[in-house]
Structure 1
Amino acid sequence: MRLYDYWRSSAAYRVRIVLNLKGIPYESVPVNLLAAEQAGAENRARNPQSLVPTLEVDGAMLTQSLAIIDYLDATYPDPPMLPRAPLARAAARAQALVLAADVHPIGNLRVLKRLESQFGADQPAKEEWMRHWVGAGLDALETMAGKAADGAAGGAAGEGPFLGGVAPGLADVCLVPQLYNARRFEMDVSAWPKLAAVDAACAEVAAIAAAHPDRVRPA
């Protein structure tokens, strides 16, 4: 199994976390986004969107982090990333999608570059854009986490230190990279105390800590 990866990519970070949680050995192949390697012919042949991550499995190329995680969960079911109960499962997916579908894409590298090239946004403007959308998503997720804890989120797990309950789940896998990004852009994550507490619990999990960008950054 081979992961085409960029150390600071939120989407790749999610996949690294799940691979580690499930104890799946893999080879990491760096794709340098700052050098535009993602747009080269070699990466486009793997990933038609010219993005990372791509997971190569027996010659098949899997793209999109949540689709990759779904594959891993189907083929390596322990530990599960989603609860079995339908209502809890839907609630967990909703939490994850707040970050992976609604927040992260608006602030990724290609969007920030387009803000600069088309609208003349300078670095402070791009950072303010990022802080706005990250903050909006974290505000929503903080509320959703509170409802889960009260048992009012469609059956989402409310026990345990994680959004997933007693063990990290898909929502936690999406949260950790987003809070890493928030700190990069000098956001005070204490504004979201429930999420900050979840992130702190995740940091104590060796498999999650091992996926941190600082631990996998190429020398």
Structure 2
Amino acid sequence: MIELLEHPLSPYAQKVKIALAEKGVPFTVRTPDAMGSGATPAEFRAASPRGEVPVLFVEGTPIYDSTIILEFIEDRFPDPPLLPRDPLARAAARTIEEVCDTTYEAINWGLSEIAWFRRAEGELAEKLKAEAKGQVGRLHAWLESQLGDGPWFGGETFGWADLCVAPFVQGSAGYELAPAEGSKLADWLGRVRQRPSVAAAFKAARDSLAAMSQVAGIVERGQFKRQYRDHRLEWMIRSGGVEVVLKGLEKDNIRFNGEPSVQS
């Protein structure tokens, strides 16, 4: 029995769902109660030290962090392989994942702070969006250099790097920052959207967007606290949004990582 604690909009959870689907592994999904409220239930906190999704429960044992989960999936279900055999190619795939999980995620997360959570409006919002546009453009250029001339990041075979990149490029496309039309990365995105594993994850994300219309008010009332962890905090400050952070601290509607819970 495999259960995934997730949120459909989480790119980290999307990575795991795509990997499980590519391996043909049956699993169920569930969104934790009070997720994002700042009042994370003790049971979830015990399984997830930062109070984040995804968490994979395998026969009742929790595995936390999307990269560690992907590594477990690759070890436990080796066929078909997602990582290439060559050590240098494996390192390249992991490098792409790291850049997307930190640098790229922070940009999309910052854009969601503006679009959905309305942390910034007017001139400040436009400044942050302009910074994000330039950063995404440079990331897309770097990803194109990693893609090379093959259909996938691993060459002829869809794999680890592809499923790690897909949620982030799709996410920025939702903010009208899709890869340039006719580019290799745009062609890749068209191909990746056709894979059943990816299409299912993207559909679940789209279906969950309706609930996002209410989140700005919930945040304003302090009932939902966005997590400003490491790369996200860095992005907001270096992109010119330090006042967003200061207002969030004043209103107590942002949060930081806590300490792991100890199970007795």
Do both proteins adopt the same fold according to a TM-score greater than 0.5, normalized to the shorter chain?
Answer: yes
Q: How many residues align?
A: 204
Task: State the alpha-carbon separation in 2 of the partners of residues 52 and 213 from structure 1.
Answer: 18
Matched, 1:45 2:52: no
Aligned to 2:252: none
- For residue 197 of structure 1, what is the amino acid of its counterpart? D
- Cα distance in 2 for residues equivalent to 1:103 and 1:188: 13
Change in Cα spacing, 1:188 to 1:207, as seen in structure 2 (3 Å) is closer
Report the secondary structure of 2:62's partner residue: strand
- Matched with 2:164 is 174
Runs of 4+ in 1 over 6 A off after TM superposition: none
Distance 1:78 1:191 in 2: 34
Instruction: Name whichever of 58-67 and 75-84 sits farther off.
Output: 58-67
Aligned residue type for 1:206 = P
Alpha-carbon offset, residue 182 of structure 1: 1.0
Contact 2:83 2:90 in 1 (8 A): yes
CA 126–142 in structure 1, closer or farther in 2 if over 3 Å, else same: same
> Alpha carbons of 1:81 and 1:143: their partners in 2 closer, same or farther (altered >3 Å)?
same
- Deviation per CA, 1:50-101: give whole Å up to 9, x if none: 2111111122211111111111001001121110111221222222222123
| 3-state SS, counterpart of residue 61 of structure 1 | strand
In the alignment, the residues of structure 2 paired with residue 123 and residue 44 of structure 1 have an alpha-carbon distance, to the nearest angstrom, of 33
8 Å Cα contact 2:154-2:161 kept in structure 1: yes
Q: In structure 2, what is the Cα distance between the partners aligned to 1:39 and 1:213?
A: 29
**Does residue 1:82 correspond to 2:83, yes or no?**
yes
Measure how far apart 1:126 and its partner are. Answer: 4.5
User: What are the residue-to-residue correspondences of 1:1-219 with 2, within 5 Å?
Assistant: 1-31=2-32, 36-37=36-37, 39-42=39-42, 43-105=44-106, 107-108=108-109, 112=113, 116=119, 123-146=125-148, 149=149, 159=150, 161-190=151-180, 193-214=183-204, 217=207
Q: How far apart are the structure 2 equivalents of 1:170 and 1:139?
A: 20
Identity %: 29
**Alignment-mate amino acid for residue 179 of structure 2:** V
Q: Is the 8 A contact 2:108 2:168 kept in 1?
A: no
Contact 1:116 1:122 in 2 (8 A): no
Contact 1:131 1:185 in 2 (8 A): no
Distance 1:194 1:41, change over 3 A: same
Change (3 A) 1:132 1:6: farther
- Whether contact under 8 Å (1:162, 1:198) holds in the other structure is yes
Alpha-carbon distance change, 200 to 99 in structure 1, aligned in 2, over 3 angstroms: same
Q: Aligned with 2:180: secondary structure? A: helix
The change in CA–CA distance for 1:102 and 1:123 in structure 2 (over 3 A counts) is same
TM-score, normalising length from structure 1?
0.78
Q: Counterpart of 1:188 in structure 2: which amino acid?
A: A
Q: Which amino acid aligns with 2:96?
A: Q
TM-score (norm 2): 0.66
Q: Is the CA contact (8 Å cut-off) linking 1:54 and 1:61 kept in structure 2? A: yes
Mapped to 1, the partners of 2:126 and 2:143 lie a distance apart of 26
Please report how far the alpha carbon of residue 37 of structure 1 lies from its aligned counterpart in structure 2 after TM superposition. Answer: 4.5
Partner of 1:155: none
